[in-house]
Amino acid sequence: MTMKSVIHLCLLMAAAGLWSCSQRQPAVPRGNVSIIPMPASISETADSFLLDKQTVIVAGNESDKKTAALFNAWLKELTGYELEVKAQGDKNAILLQTGNDSTNAEGYTLTASHNNIIIKGNSGAGTFYGVQTLIQLLPVEKAHAMFVPGVSITDAPRFAYRGLHLDVGRHFFSVDFIKKYIDLMAMHKLNTFHWHLTEDQGWRIEIKKYPRLQEVASKRKETMAGRYADNKYDGKPYGGFYTQEQVKEVVQYAADHFITVIPEIEMPGHSLAALAAYPNLGCTGGPYEVGTRWGVYDDVYCAGNDSVYLFLQDVLDEVMALFPGRYIHIGGDESPKVRWEKCPKCQARMKQEGLKDEHALQSYFIQRMEKYLNSKGRQIIGWDEILEGGLAPNATVMSWRGIEGGIAAARQKHDVIMTPGEFCYFDHYQSRGPNEPLAIGGFLPVSKVYSYEPVPSELNSDEAKYIKGAQANVWTEYINNTNYLEYMVYPRAAALSEVLWSPKDKRNYDNFTERLKVHLKRLDLKKVNYAKHVFEVTGKVTDNGKGGVDVILASKLDGGKIFFTTDSTAPTPQATPYTTPVQITHTGTLRAQVFLDGKPFGNEYNQAFLFHKGLAKKISSMTAADAGHRPDTNFVLVNGIEGNAAYNDNEWFGFNGKDMEAIVELDSVQDIHLVGINTVNAKGDWIYPPKQVVFAVSDDGKTFKEVYKQSTFAQQGISKVRGHLQAVRGKFVKVQMQNFGKIPAGAPGAGNGAWLFADEFIIN
């Protein structure tokens, strides 16, 4: 009997209670295997494989040897040793075998038995993903030897494009961190890194032909501090760029992890940094300076100037030499037309090309650059604004302003990458907690990321084929360090990885969170500063059917106990234990905390409620809010919660460029002394107060009488519109809010429809 067999027998007998082994035992997995993303097919057996120092890795080609080295790097963290890599063998071995099937290049099979572990990849990528799965079959505890559970796995991704983006223009991140970012992507079987390299606030890639891009465009004199509306700056110079050698290093590192890097060179907008370096490329000739505030700038590349196209062709020539992938991302988003409207060169170009308006001029710009890239064997990806004025012939569209752009592009038979802000913008808040660090807005918890379905139901089966996958975007206006970046990305990226890899019918959020409990320990091993909100106490506000609201408290923390208070005091283990939904009976604050072993875990649930006559009453009609700012139900308008000033709490209804109307039906005709609603003025985020708010009352829901009107609002932040009434009775109360309209020239988002925000329709 071999030493390994002795150890194996010892462990089996110890597990049966027949023998106590004196030497240190390997970690034995307990319960079901825990893999993220969930494989397409997995079955467990009663068998197991004992991995120890005598185990070898059999890898026959260079690609598999690189993959073996990556496995060894992880194993060494757990065991302190690496396995020998051999060209042949089959006993006590991990066998990597590549090139067995051509049905899906990223597919693989994995079997683990007493004798060996066999990973058969359809390609090098498939073998690599099989090894990533093997890593997740290992225990997370350190040991000298360990069991791998007996399994049979057949796996392949649902979508070919599984992306994660990073904006390094607003804030710069080191090459070492970019490599860690790629490591984590590979762990989650994400295969495309979208590197956003140029912005108004900084140009981050070395272009040898244009040295002022490094000398001028990569630096800004200071950076906006705090929220946009505060209009404060830190007074500190900021800069950084990647040399071409560093870019090559990152691209090769990604390739070793079977990740394609797509560079983004923004055009025609988001180009202020480049204009600061080369002012002749703008419509006015400058002077320009690298952007110090966030938002959208009016100055863009001059579409009527041939030197712009020559400049961009030169830039793209150097970019293409660094990035061997098929795609180059050319941006195309948020490009104001105000400079073009007044520029003689742009107007002459429009006349020369027979273009009807500036949107058509942008299409001309994009198509001209696309033809150049096509001539070099490359294809473009652009944000969904490239649909405006006519889509470039071979372009792939990234749909970010909701799903509509993706639907339109798919119906035109263009490939689509779905990345709607409502589900895929990881710069949005992920918790309603008061202690969250500053973010750009919105609310995107892990559960909502996991709920995302990339293929719009509006598409038929033929059109759906053009949806190639999806991507999460990480914009870094407020993310200025690696700890915060990791906090914003994980575990949300883990949730998206399962959306993109696993079969749709395999996805189950409760099961995902159970596996996540183990998976977070792997992130601990990688020293990732992930967010812990998934296991904190949460509160779901519901209509109790009795003219009020209940709050259902919950936590997925094993062994955790919830205690709450309704008098605004801090919850402790001596407070009321939670057993049934908490009914809201008065104005006040509900606070709840989950405790583990008597100690608080994570942030507490802290929610103020406003008790009023309209609470939980029927919304008989309401204008539909727009994607990205659309709470789950209209009930949120009368749930007793006033949306917060960070609008990260999923309470605000947002209306892009359109008016809002809602009608609340009370139980009976009764006295009404007060009507109110809240709105927001945050012009830096494109959110404008209404032109006016009008309240009207009716007995029958048909004939309404105006009872209050207001047309002045707070200059910044939340406006609490309140109308105090006398001698007014009614059963139906209507509010009408008139949208501001188009955002004026010179303001962030100029030319776009303003957002109108509304929340908590108050009646007393």
> Domain map of the chain by residue range?
3-155, 161-533, 536-609, 618-763
Tell me the CATH class for 618-763: mainly beta
Per-residue pLDDT band at 140 (split at 50, 70, 90): very high
| Mean pLDDT within 59-71 | 94
| Mean pLDDT within 352-371 | 94
Say yes or no to pLDDT of 220 above 70: yes
**Beta carbons of 11 and 25 less than 8 angstroms apart:** yes
Alpha-helix runs per DSSP H in 111-211: 124-137, 175-187
- What per-residue confidence (pLDDT) applies to 6? 40
- What per-residue confidence (pLDDT) applies to 5? 45
- 644: which 2 tokens? 């917060």
Per-residue pLDDT band at 100 (split at 50, 70, 90): low
Higher pLDDT residue, 30 or 520? Answer: 520
pLDDT tens digit sequence for 513-531 = 999 999 999 999 999 999 9
pLDDT tens digit sequence for 283-323 = 999 999 999 999 899 999 999 999 999 999 999 999 999 99
Say yes or no to pLDDT of 10 above 80: no
Could you tell me how far CA 650 lies from the centroid of its own chain?
A: 16
Per-residue pLDDT band at 14 (split at 50, 70, 90): very low
Per-residue pLDDT band at 102 (split at 50, 70, 90): low
- Please enumerate in sequence order all residues whose Cβ is within 8 A of that of 36, keeping only pairs 6 or more positions apart, or say none: 136, 188, 494, 497, 498, 512, 515, 516, 519
Higher pLDDT residue, 226 or 204? Answer: 204
Higher pLDDT residue, 626 or 29? Answer: 626
CA neighbor of 60 nearest in space, from 8, 127, 132, 133: 127
- What per-residue confidence (pLDDT) applies to 746? 80
Say yes or no to pLDDT of 17 above 60: no
**Beta carbons of 110 and 41 less than 8 angstroms apart:** no
- What per-residue confidence (pLDDT) applies to 30? 40
Per-residue pLDDT band at 630 (split at 50, 70, 90): confident
> Between the CA of residue 552 and those of 202, 539, 579, what are the distances in Å?
46, 5, 10
- What per-residue confidence (pLDDT) applies to 32? 60
- Element spanning 671, H or E: strand 660-671
**Beta carbons of 351 and 361 less than 8 angstroms apart:** no
Say yes or no to pLDDT of 27 above 80: no
Could you tell me how far CA 654 lies from the centroid of its own chain?
A: 19
pLDDT tens digit sequence for 635-680 = 999 999 999 887 777 899 999 999 999 999 999 999 999 999 999 9
- What per-residue confidence (pLDDT) applies to 401? 86
Could you tell me how far CA 40 lies from the centroid of its own chain?
A: 24
Say yes or no to pLDDT of 66 above 60: yes
**Beta carbons of 592 and 578 less than 8 angstroms apart:** yes
| Mean pLDDT, all residues of the chain | 92
Quickly name the fold that domain 3-155 has: Chitobiase; domain 2 (3.30.379)
- What per-residue confidence (pLDDT) applies to 556? 87
- What per-residue confidence (pLDDT) applies to 231? 85
Say yes or no to pLDDT of 11 above 60: no
Answer CATH for 161-533 from 3.30.70.20, 3.40.50.1000, 3.40.50.300, 3.20.20.80: 3.20.20.80
**Beta carbons of 64 and 96 less than 8 angstroms apart:** yes
**Is the fold of 161-533 the same as that of 618-763?**
no
Per-residue pLDDT band at 692 (split at 50, 70, 90): very high
Point out the least confidently predicted range of 200-214, 383-397, 628-642.
383-397
pLDDT tens digit sequence for 242-295 = 999 999 999 999 999 999 999 999 999 999 999 999 999 999 999 999 999 998
Residue type, 41: S
- What per-residue confidence (pLDDT) applies to 23? 36
Residue type, 540: K
